Amino acid sequence: MIRFSHGAATSVGRVRQVNEDRFLAVPPLFAVADGMGGHGSGDVASSIAIEDMAACAALRPLFTEAVLTALEHANRHIIERHSETRMGTTVTGLAGLETAGGDHLMVFNIGDSRVYRLAGHRLEQLTVDHSEVQELVLAGVITREQARTHPRRNVVTRALGSESGMLPDHWLLPAISGDRYLICSDGLFSELPDEAILPLLAAGAPQQAAEALVAAACDAGGHDNVTVIVVDIDADDDSADETTLPREALPLGKQPGEGW
Q: For 65-96, write each residue's pLDDT tens digit.
A: 999 999 999 999 998 887 666 789 999 999 99
Structural domain total, the chain: 1
- Residue 229 in any domain: the answer is yes
| Whole-angstrom distance, CA of residue 101 vs CA of residue 69 | 22
CATH number, domain of 164, equals 3.60.40.10
- Residue 118 in any domain: the answer is yes
Q: For 174-233, write each residue's pLDDT tens digit.
A: 999 999 999 999 999 999 999 999 999 999 999 999 999 999 999 999 999 999 999 999
| Whole-angstrom distance, CA of residue 91 vs CA of residue 249 | 20
- Residue 241 in any domain: the answer is no
DSSP per residue over 14-56, as a string? TT-SS--EEEEEETTEEEEEEEESSTTTHHHHHHHHHHHHHHH
- Residue 249 in any domain: the answer is no
Domain that holds residue 17: 2-235
Q: In degrees rounded to 5, what are phi and psi of residue 166?
A: -85, 75
- Residue 162 in any domain: the answer is yes
Q: For 88-130, write each residue's pLDDT tens digit.
A: 999 999 999 977 667 899 999 999 999 999 998 999 999 999 8
| Whole-angstrom distance, CA of residue 101 vs CA of residue 238 | 10
Q: What is the pTM of this model?
A: 0.87
- Residue 219 in any domain: the answer is yes
- Residue 244 in any domain: the answer is no
Cis geometry, peptide bond prior to residue 193 (ω within 30 degrees of 0): no
Phi-psi region of 96 (alpha: psi -120 to 50; beta: other; left: phi over 0): beta
